[in-house]
Homo-oligomer: A and B are copies of this chain.
Amino acid sequence: MNEGAICLLSGGLDSSVSAYIAKSQYDEIYALTITYGQRHEKEIESAKEIAASLNVKDHTIFQLNLDKFGGSSLLKKETNTIQKDISYEEIGKTIPSTYVPARNTIFLSLALAYAETKNADHIFIGVTAADYSGYPDCRPEYVDAYQRLINVATKKTIQGGKIVLHAPLLHLSKRDIVLAGKKLQVPFEKTWSCYQGLQHACGVCDSCQLRLKGFKEAKLKDPLVYHAYPAWY
């Protein structure tokens, strides 16, 4: 114990549960929220509330102009039209249009700089492979390759220190993530998963559907208010 952990915290369900898991294991939590011109700025407000509830030692909000590179629908500043309703059976079969090139690779590199600066031994990222939406950088082989990179990449790790990459949700389903969050008393009402920038969660985007599916399967009520609910919910 008495070790520090950097937690990548978007303010969504997964990263919040991941950060609460970190908090249950380590003393000093540092939250890192990266904004990259995504439409759902509401997540950042959620991240601030979750960081406060975690009583973090520091919360760094890092602005990144990923729109300079383009290449993802998440980066486009379009009108807030609701995406077409897709069944959740279709989710995860292809790489979705919301894929952001090298996103987690960039996020983890910033977390690594933060870890080295704060002398934190741990990095937590809330990626999940089970229900994963087809992102290449949310798979076990990706996490393993990143750990091997860390081992040779920093002053600390080549001088005998450790920086351990944790992806505690990697093999959990959305249902299991909701149950883990419940157990750790994650304030679900403060988290935000929707890809749309509406007043309430849209209930139809991939992210809303996966979240609602998780709550449904966990037999728990999602405290968030939704504009609409899928027929199966």
Contacts and interface: CB of A to CB of B under 8 A. Distances in A.
Chain A interface extent, by class: 35 or more
Interface stretch (A39-47, A81-89, A113-121): A113-121
A220 interface: no
A135 to B, nearest CB: 8
A149 interface: yes
A173 interface: no
Interface in A117-171: 117, 136-137, 139, 141-142, 145-146, 148-149, 151-155, 157-159
A99 interface: yes
A181 B155 CA distance: 30
Nearest to A139: B152
Of A71, A101, A136, A142, chain B has the most CB atoms within 10 Å of the CB of A101
A60 B71 contact: no
Nearest to A104: B153
Say how many copies of this protein the assembly contains.
2
A112 B213 CA distance: 33
Interface string A36-70: 00000000000000000000000010111110111
Contact of A137 (B63, B141, B148, B153): B153
Contacts of A117: 69-71, 101
A13 B110 CA distance: 26
